[in-house]
């Protein structure tokens, strides 16, 4: 049976939906300030007696769910584990992938950890890919790996709203749920105000130097047919730009909706498959595939937000890789309002600073949130006891992410930055 295309929120030129968004944000702030000045005794929580829990109501819309892909390679198991702890929330789903360069012992280490954590085991929202994908740097196997992860998440965890890809060198700058964090408004709370069909990806059709160095060369990725990792190689021929669709390129880091990714995987229109074949021979195709699909289809081209939700710092002129972030960049990271940042060197001291000052996360533990109802006396881990995953308690001191989102959805610039 033919699958009907998903419905989307209409983006009219006057974007009247922004008014209720701003109104809800204002009402939320007023309610939060009221709550902040109302003193009440702390409730006695008991996981065996749900009727005694006193979860605060969710302000705004229904809470979303994120599906995270966290990827790494040989030696990255400890970094993937730490990143999982930093972004964990029982509402979300987490798929961990170490490429074949990593020994099976590292994958088993992650799987054992997921089973050993009481909350993750009880919720069942952490998965490890046992048969990993060979991923070639700057090759189309990066796209294949992402689409594989999406297919797993669609099958195993169907009720999510946004898919986010992270690498072992990424780290969050704010919690999923900011119940105990005074400087952050949590990601789940802010995204509860947003239409569920907004796709976050940095993109442009003004590809500049990338035309000669990315679009026209023809490459072959040995990872498509070899079992060992090696670099891509170039054909002697070059090709012209396509005439039946327009090329878009940008960041490979994305936060895409379930409905759009269903379209990419199931493809009731042939566009995703056609472009997948085309991008098989383009260098760094993960920086253009989703961007070109979304901007060449009428159902999705007006759902884009031109930002990848990451803080990244580049050399001037830019080099192949961004600058490794350190304590020197901490203030800029915080002021950016971005939920995530990259790249970080393994165990760089700035990660401890982020844990302490932004996430309030202790080493080896999950970032605390409203769902953590254990007793923290004598250093016990409050997140060892699972409360309601819907008990999100937004904070009021900071609006960093809110300011970023409102800037991105600004009446004057939002439409002009979509698929241009």
pLDDT profile of the chain (420 residues), mean per 10: 44 44 46 37 31 38 93 98 97 97 97 96 96 94 97 94 98 79 64 94 96 96 89 94 97 98 94 97 97 98 97 89 96 94 97 94 92 87 90 60 93 92
Is-contact 358 173, C-beta < 8 A?
yes
At 59 the pLDDT is 44
204 φ, ψ (degrees, to nearest 5): -160, 150
Beta strand 199-200 pairing with 304-305 = parallel
Structure tokens at 285: 């195709």
Residue 305 is predicted with a pLDDT of 98
Helical spans, DSSP H, in 296-354 = 330-336, 349-354
CA distances from 136 to 133, 229, 250, 284, 300 (A): 10, 6, 19, 10, 29
Please state which architecture CATH assigns to domain 65-205+251-417: Alpha-Beta Complex (3.90)
Distance CA 269, CA 280 (A): 19
Give the H or E element holding residue 108.
Answer: helix 104-116
217 CB contacts (<8 Å, ≥6 apart)? 234, 235, 238, 283
Tell me how far apart the alpha carbons of residues 153 and 308 are, in angstroms, rounded to a whole number: 21
DSSP state of 102: S
Report the distance separating Cα 348 and Cα 355, nearest Å. Answer: 12
SS3 state at 342: strand
Q: Provide the phi-psi class of 170: left if phi over 0, else alpha when psi is between -120 and 50, else beta.
A: beta
Q: What is the pLDDT of residue 24?
A: 47
């Amino acid at each position: 049976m033919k699958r009907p295309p998903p419905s989307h929120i209409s983006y009219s030129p006057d974007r009247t939906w922004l008014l209720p968004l701003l109104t809800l944000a204002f009402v939320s702030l007023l309610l939060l300030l009221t709550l902040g000045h109302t003193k009440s005794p702390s409730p006695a929580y008991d996981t065996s007696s749900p009727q005694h829990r006193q979860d605060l109501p969710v302000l705004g819309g229904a809470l979303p769910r994120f599906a995270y892909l966290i990827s790494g390679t040989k030696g990255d198991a400890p970094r993937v584990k730490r990143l999982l702890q930093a972004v964990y929330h029982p509402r979300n789903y987490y798929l961990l992938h170490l490429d074949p360069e990593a020994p099976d012992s590292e994958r088993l280490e992650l799987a054992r950890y997921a089973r050993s954590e009481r909350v993750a085991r009880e919720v069942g929202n952490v998965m490890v890919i046992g048969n990993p994908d060979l991923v070639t740097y700057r090759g189309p196997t990066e796209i294949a790996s992402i689409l594989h992860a999406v297919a797993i998440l669609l099958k195993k965890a169907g009720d999510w709203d946004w898919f986010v890809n992270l690498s072992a060198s990424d780290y969050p700058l704010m919690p999923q749920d900011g119940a105990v964090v005074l400087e952050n408004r949590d990601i789940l709370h802010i995204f509860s105000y947003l239409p569920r069909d907004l796709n976050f990806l940095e993109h442009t059709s003004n590809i500049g130097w990338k035309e000669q160095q990315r679009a026209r060369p023809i490459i072959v990725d040995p990872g498509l047919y070899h079992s060992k990792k090696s670099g891509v190689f170039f054909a002697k021929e070059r090709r012209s730009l396509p005439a039946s669709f327009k090329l878009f390129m940008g960041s490979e880091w994305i936060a895409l909706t379930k409905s759009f990714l269903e379209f990419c995987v199931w493809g009731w229109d042939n566009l995703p498959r056609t472009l997948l074949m085309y991008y098989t021979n383009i260098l760094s195709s993960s920086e253009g595939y989703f961007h070109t699909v979304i901007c060449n289809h009428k159902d999705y081209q007006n759902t884009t937000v031109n930002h990848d939700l990451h803080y990244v710092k580049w050399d001037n002129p830019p080099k192949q890789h961004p600058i490794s972030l350190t304590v020197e960049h901490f203030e800029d990271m915080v002021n950016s309002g971005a939920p995530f940042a990259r790249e970080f060197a393994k165990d760089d001291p700035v990660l401890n600073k982020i844990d302490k000052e932004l996430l309030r996360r202790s080493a080896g533990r999950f970032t605390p949130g409203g769902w953590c109802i254990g007793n923290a006396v004598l250093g016990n881990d409050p997140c060892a006891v699972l409360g309601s995953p819907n008990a999100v308690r937004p904070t009021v001191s900071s609006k960093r992410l809110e300011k970023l989102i409102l800037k991105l959805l600004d009446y004057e610039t939002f439409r002009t930055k979509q698929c241009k």
